[in-house]
Chains A and B, each alone.
Chain A
Amino acid sequence: MENSDSSRQFRKVLVANRGEIAVRIIQGLREMGIGTVAVYSEIDRTALHVLTADEAVCIGPAPAAESYLKGDRIIAAALETGAEAIHPGYGFLSENGPFSAAVEAAGLVFIGPTAETMAIMGDKLSSRRRMIAAGVPVVPGTEEAVTDPAEAVAVAERIGYPVLLKASAGGGGKGMRVVRSSGEMAAALRQTRGEAGASFANDAVFVEKYIESPKHIEVQVLGDGRGEVIHLFERECSVQRRHQKVIEESPSPSLTPALRDRICAAAVQTARAVSYRGAGTVEFILAPGGEFFFLEMNTRLQVEHPVTEMVTGVDLVRAMVLIAQGQGLCYRQEDLRQHGWALEFRLYAEDPARNFAPSIGRIESLTVPQGPGVRLDTGIYEGFDVPIHYDPMLAKLIVWAENRDLAIDRARRVLGEFILHGPVHNLPFHAWALEQPAFRDGSYTTHFVSEHFDPADWQPRLDAGQTDALIAATALFEANRRDARLATPPAGDECAPGNWRLNALRQMTNTK
């Protein structure tokens, strides 16, 4: 609560990230009166986070391995600019223990947990063991890595098929395989270990019960690093594609008040077991019967943190900075409430009809929705060329209303007002999801997309009037574009998309 002797006020903080999360963190720092330093790769010179920051330092070429993952250059940039702390955001170096240790060794503050916490939580087997010791429910299975197929079969027969083989160092849906009978075990174990060794340089694989029709529930926690931990309730993130979340909400429609109390208490227990420092997320699987199991802990600010901010009113970036300044938690558990309902939609430059393949290019036009209950966390602007080197997430649209039904109604309105022209994107996917009965009644599971989404037939058909307008406008556009090129000899690259558009559209007015 109150300042201890070791507390201080940062005057300047470096943000070791890019895109919407770097912008979000800079916004939080600025509200606290703290100076901001952005880092950027050569291709990100014109990215929004650079334009938003007070100072910006180039840390290398476009590939992340040569820039955003170069811890030594980031630390050098902090020292050069006189920043006292580094906020890592999510992804990149955010859960890299050696980086956190190097930051502290350089006399700077890492806004996040200790390297030791990250080492425990970054490995599925070690975090599993730690949680079993702390009395947190984990999915039934092995505590140690398994190499012998006969042993794996014995475990599977004890806990019951189907089981999941899981790489201890895995993540993002990689290094996992479902086994439904003893006959499949030997081959599956060999393949999973091979994949794990190749992808994560660690072939440790363990066995756990495979939960059918699971829901993904996670709990936001804050810890002061001295054993004090509070939770900020749950988020449900069961709408996923390729094992990546696309829609998140808080509260979860799947929890009763009693179940919420138990799952949030288990999350606090988890974070206390490692004397957690900073903001973290404890992920659980919720089985259809209401049983829940610890999955893993993410030791960083999550992509979906805004839904928690909307329903609790807490600024998580500010809370992280206050903890890093040594000021402790600044909230008491009993002061925190869930108020209303929030939904988050991740805006990806990808084509849902083509297996969500990335589609990139210039943001030609952008009209963002406004009005009551709308928040947009964005890393793009009109005219921005989306680089090919990083994650295709462009922005996050967050919608809040008094209850879930009203939040869904508001989201339909807001998605309809959002115009992004340029790359193909997944806003129509979100509009589709909102219309699905399994989403509306909250019964959806992590299989929602595979069970309900048909890439060949998902968009509402264009009606005759819309089709005519689309075809007619495109034909007119082509006619005017050709006229424009005949009238003015091409200067430079006539095929630059912007030139076509401007010339063609300007000539399109037929009322002179």
Chain B
Amino acid sequence: MWMKKRYILKLADDQVTAEVARREAETQVRLGDAEPLGIDAVPVMGGRALSVRLGNRQHLVHLTGMDRKGTVAATLDGRPFRLTVMDELKAQALESLGDAGGSGTILADIPGLVIEIRVRPGQQVHQGEPVIVVEAMKMQNELGARVSGVVREIPVKVGQSVNPGDPLVVIEPDPGG
């Protein structure tokens, strides 16, 4: 009997559903509406990478989970990628809570040091307005508000180290915005 699970994957702007089906030593992956593909994936290099054969074509794939949001660092044949992967149920649950992308919370996207906070709680901000500056490797990265609204909370302080996914500034979007 086949055991099946479905996942939603995002790569850049593309989203695809992947169904992983397993039966004893056999694994198939079905991408979107395409026919299921037999996949042969064997750990190599002491478990640091996978040799993946689809058909007879060989690829070397490195995969590392990066955070709790399902971000995966992948290196395919030497090229680096960032994907997000989520099982279908979790993706649906998130969707019913409202589009996560429209939320006003600004998250750190790289590890770094908060060097400047340009807003205060209660302050009105406009979409695109720079609100916080994170420094990493001698480069300052200005992060802007993704929505117009009111700053509700700033859970970080100047001088604090942050990791990807850490909330930096919580903005309550303007109603109807």
* A residues lining the B interface (CB < 8 Å): 349, 357-361, 364-365, 367, 382, 388-392, 415-425, 427-428, 459, 462, 465-479, 481-482, 495, 497-498, 500-502, 504-506, 508-512
Q: Which residues of B contact A505 (CB under 8 A)?
A: 43, 47-50, 63
Q: Which residues of A contact B39 (CB under 8 A)?
A: 472-473, 476
Residue of A nearest to B141 (CB): A357
Q: Can you list 24 pairs linking A and B with CB atoms under 8 Å apart?
A: A364-B62, A365-B45, A365-B62, A365-B75, A391-B138, A415-B78, A419-B78, A421-B64, A459-B79, A469-B61, A470-B11, A470-B59, A470-B83, A471-B9, A471-B11, A472-B18, A473-B74, A474-B9, A476-B29, A478-B7, A479-B5, A505-B47, A508-B50, A510-B40
Which residues of B124-169 have CB atoms within 8 Å of chain A's CB atoms? 136-139, 141, 161
B173 at the interface (CB under 8 A from A): no
What's the minimum C-beta distance from A357 to chain B, rounded to whole angstroms? Answer: 6
Decide: A390 near B50, CB < 8 A? Known: A477-B63, A478-B72, A511-B25.
Answer: no
B122 at the interface (CB under 8 A from A): no
Most buried by B among A358, A389, A418, A462: A358
Cα distance A505–B44 in the bound complex, in angstroms: 9
Within 8 Å by CB of B64, from A418, A475, A501, lies A501
Decide: A473 near B63, CB < 8 A? Known: A357-B139, A468-B54, A506-B47.
Answer: yes
Interchain CB contact under 8 A, B43 and A508: yes
Cα distance A343–B139 in the bound complex, in angstroms: 27
Interchain CB contact under 8 A, B65 and A361: no
Cα distance A481–B45 in the bound complex, in angstroms: 19
Residue of B nearest to A362 (CB): B64
Cα distance A471–B41 in the bound complex, in angstroms: 13
Decide: A364 near B64, CB < 8 A? Known: A471-B9, A476-B41, A508-B50.
Answer: yes
What's the minimum C-beta distance from B144 to chain A, rounded to whole angstroms? Answer: 14
Decide: A475 near B41, CB < 8 A? Known: A390-B138, A502-B47.
Answer: no
Interchain CB contact under 8 A, B137 and A390: yes
Decide: A477 near B37, CB < 8 A? Known: A360-B110, A419-B60, A465-B55.
Answer: no
Interchain CB contact under 8 A, A419 and B62: yes
Cα distance A470–B16 in the bound complex, in angstroms: 12
Cα distance A416–B79 in the bound complex, in angstroms: 9
Residue of A nearest to B27 (CB): A510
Q: Which residues of A contact B66 (CB under 8 A)?
A: 361, 497
Cα distance A284–B71 in the bound complex, in angstroms: 45
Residue of A nearest to B84 (CB): A474
Interchain CB contact under 8 A, A418 and B78: yes
Within 8 Å by CB of A512, from B25, B31, B73, lies B25
What's the minimum C-beta distance from A417 to chain B, rounded to whole angstroms? Answer: 8
Within 8 Å by CB of A497, from B7, B18, B29, B65, lies B65
Within 8 Å by CB of A473, from B50, B64, B141, lies B50
B87 at the interface (CB under 8 A from A): yes
Within 8 Å by CB of B27, from A419, A476, A498, lies A476
Cα distance A232–B38 in the bound complex, in angstroms: 58
Q: Which residues of B contact A504 (CB under 8 A)?
A: 63, 65
Q: Which residues of A contact B40 (CB under 8 A)?
A: 510
Q: Which residues of B contact A468 (CB under 8 A)?
A: 31, 37, 54
Interchain CB contact under 8 A, A470 and B78: no
Other than the known A474-B9, A482-B87, what 20 A-B pairs have Cβ atoms closer than 8 Å? A349-B137, A365-B48, A388-B112, A388-B136, A390-B137, A419-B60, A421-B64, A421-B80, A462-B76, A465-B57, A473-B61, A474-B85, A476-B41, A477-B85, A478-B7, A478-B87, A504-B65, A505-B47, A505-B49, A510-B40
B174 at the interface (CB under 8 A from A): no
Decide: A360 near B63, CB < 8 A? Known: A476-B20, A479-B20.
Answer: no
Residue of A nearest to B82 (CB): A424
Interchain CB contact under 8 A, A477 and B72: yes
What's the minimum C-beta distance from B56 to chain A, rounded to whole angstroms? Answer: 10
Interchain CB contact under 8 A, B137 and A388: yes
Contact flags (1/0) for B14-33 with A, using CB distance below 8 Å? 00101010100111010100
Cα distance A303–B2 in the bound complex, in angstroms: 57
Q: Which residues of B contact A420 (CB under 8 A)?
A: 75, 80
Q: Which residues of A contact B59 (CB under 8 A)?
A: 466, 469-470, 473
Decide: A509 near B43, CB < 8 A? Known: A419-B60, A479-B7, A501-B65.
Answer: yes
Residue of B nearest to A462 (CB): B76
Residue of B nearest to A428 (CB): B79
Decide: A501 near B9, CB < 8 A? Known: A421-B73, A475-B18.
Answer: no
